Each structure stands twice: as C-alpha cells, then as structure tokens.
Structure 1
Amino acid sequence: MSSYPVHTLESAPEQSRPVLQQLQQTFGMIPNIAAKMAASPVLINGFIGLFERVHASSLSEPQIQTLLLTNAVTNASEWPAAFHTALALQAGIAAADVDAIRQGKLPSDHKLAALSVLARTLIEKRGRIHESDHNRFLEAGFNNEQILEVIAVVAASAITNYTSSVTKPPLEAQFEEFAWHAPAR
C-alpha cells in the first residue's frame, strides 16, 4: 500500500491547489497521479509548467500522445499507460497503432513510428543517441528543434512515470478498460 494520499482540493498543500484546480478544469476531474503528486508542491508545479510547454510545442496532440504512451510503456508505468491510451484514442490515433505501442511495437504511421523510436531510444540509451538515430528522425520529416521537444516530452513523462512507480495511484474507473500491465522482466 502506498503511503502517499490521493489528495483533494481540500486536503492538498496550499501551493499544490492551483494545479489541481487547473487539472479539474481541463479533465473534469483530478487525475489520481496528480492527486498523489500534490503531496509535493515542488513536483506538481514543475510538472504542470513543463506539460504546458510540451502542449504548446510544434508537435500535434496525436504526436505528443504517441510519445507519452511510448514513454509509459518503455518505463513500465501502468497508470500512465492506461491514461495515455485513453488520450491517444481520443486524439485520433488508430486503435491498431495504440495497441502496437502498448505491445512495445511501432505504430504503422511512419511519423508516429519515428517519434516512438526516438522516445524509446532516448529512454533506453539515457539520452545518448547516435547520429544515425538523429538522422532517421530528420528523414521522417521532423527537424532539429523537434528532437529537443521530444526530449521535453520524455522529461515531462518521466515525472508521471516515476511518480506512478513510487506512489502507485489507483486507476480511475473511466480508464479501467485501458488497464495495462508491464510484462515480467
């Protein structure tokens, strides 16, 4: 059992409440991962600032959700995998592509596949990509700035992925159909 509470607007530290209110407005609810993050105003405020910038990047919402789902699967993070499965489908990513990512495979869409490969490579190689990885991403139609934007998405998702692993938030009922379990290592 996790020793981190699922905070509400009333129970959260004062400095965490504005972020929880913002998430309530955005999603119509406070995601349990954020409710757990709220125990640390430093963490939740850093998280929201980076996520706002990620969603203001040149990447489309389906591209961002591809990255976030890939990152959750690569990091074996169950709550974020379920959440980003729902958001990826909502963003219009084909169900077959979402299933492929959840299985550790590549989506059929070549640009989404390039994003997924780069994210997985960044995580697995701790950011030490080879020139060939860089060039393959550019050849898929992306640019140098977007490689840096992918790094921002990987960093942002590391916050939720690691928080999920440490705090073990319960999965909300609306995401249960998207539950995902990391394969045994």
Structure 2
Amino acid sequence: MTSYQIHTADTASEAAKEPLTVLQGAFGFVPAAAGLMANSPALLNTFFSAFGHFRGGGTFGPDERQVLLLSNAVANGSEWAVAFHTLEALADGVEPAVVEALRRGDLPTDSRMAALSALTRAFIDKRGRLDEADVAAFTAAGFTEEQLFEVITGVAISAMTNYTANVARPPLEAAVQPHAWTAGYSSGV
C-alpha cells in the first residue's frame, strides 16, 4: 500500500485541481496514477498537457494508442498501468487476443499491432537508439516515419504514469481490479 497521498480534485492544490476534475469526469474516478502525480503539480500538468496532445492531435487511433500504452506499461513492469490500460484497451476496441498477448509480453498476431508494440518496446529497451530494422518493420506495417516521432510522446507519457505507479504502488480502483496483472503474467493459455 502506498504512503503517498492519492489526491482527488477536493484534496489537490489549486495547481492540480483542473486536470483531476477533467479525469474524474472522463472516467468516473480519478485514476490513482494521476492522483499521485498531483503531489507534484508540475508532473501532473506536464502529463495532462502531453496526453491531451497525444490523444487530440495525434494520428494514432484509440486502439493503436492503447496498444502503445499497454506495451509500454508491460515493458516498464507497471502493475497499475497494465491493469488500467487493459481496461482502456478493451473499451477502445482492441481485440481481447491482442490484449492478452501484450499482457504476456508477446507480440500480437495482428501484424500492424505487432509492429507498433515492437517499436514502442524497442524505444524503451534501446533507450531510443533504434536501428534501421526497427524503423523498417514499423513502416512496412503501414505506419509513417512521422508516426515514429509520435511514438516518442507515448513512451514519454507512459514513463510518467508507469514510474509514478511503480514508485508509489497504488491500489487498483474497483473498475480496474478485474484486470490485475503482475510481472511474469501468463493467461494460462
């Protein structure tokens, strides 16, 4: 259990209230990672702005964004983020078989989603030092070279939530609990 305060819009400082209010309205609850990030309004507001641009100004569809974010959460071993993005991925239309593959740390059989997952993991594993084969596999799946840079945004916002959750280890919200995950997860298939 965390010893860090998980803020709500009622308990957060003025500088952190607006993002938490928006998230409460969007999800029906304040996601624990955001409530934790409110301990540093600079972190929360940076995340909130970057995610808004990623979601609102990016070219990835909702399902692709969730594949990217879930892949990052697994690569970073973030139990809270994997559970949260499992819920979101299923809600955003990601096929359950794709979600299960990602949760196991495997690439999905869907070639486009596999290329997106592989690239996001390569960014993390190689600390951004991609090689030509990484880029070629991504573009061969129908993604553009410009989208390669958009993946960096997804990796960055994931680092903020994943690392926050890894440090604080918050409990899972009721809506997220059915999707609990631990490193080394196997669906038993």
Partner of 2:44: 44
User: What is the letter of the counterpart of residue 118 of structure 1?
Assistant: L
1:8 is aligned to 2:23: no
Q: Secondary structure at the match of 1:55?
A: helix
User: What is the letter of the counterpart of residue 2 of structure 1?
Assistant: T
Per-residue deviation, residues 47-79 of structure 1 (Å, max 9, x unmatched): 000101111200000000000000000000000
Structure 2 matches for 1:1-185, cutoff 5 A? Answer: 1-56=1-56, 57-183=58-184
Q: TM-score under structure 2 normalisation?
A: 0.94
List runs of 5+ in structure 2 lacking aligned partners. none
- Superposition deviation, residue 124 in structure 1: 0.4
Moved more, 60-69 or 21-30: 21-30
Q: Secondary structure at the match of 2:121?
A: helix
Aligned length: 184
Moved more, 76-85 or 161-170: 161-170
- Superposition deviation, residue 7 in structure 1: 1.0
Tell me if the contact between 2:59 and 2:147 (Cα under 8 Å) persists in the aligned partners: yes
Identity of aligned residues (%): 47
User: What is the letter of the counterpart of residue 33 of structure 1?
Assistant: A
Tell me if the contact between 2:104 and 2:184 (Cα under 8 Å) persists in the aligned partners: no
Q: Secondary structure at the match of 2:175?
A: helix
Separation in 1, partners of 2:150, 2:143: 11
- Superposition deviation, residue 169 in structure 1: 1.4
Q: Secondary structure at the match of 1:174?
A: coil
Separation in 2, partners of 1:139, 1:128: 19
Separation in 2, partners of 1:24, 1:31: 8
User: What is the letter of the counterpart of residue 81 of structure 1?
Assistant: V
Q: TM-score under structure 1 normalisation?
A: 0.96
Per-residue deviation, residues 86-136 of structure 1 (Å, max 9, x unmatched): 111111111111000000001121111100000001000000010111111
User: What is the letter of the counterpart of residue 17 of structure 2?
Assistant: R
List runs of 5+ in structure 1 lacking aligned partners. none
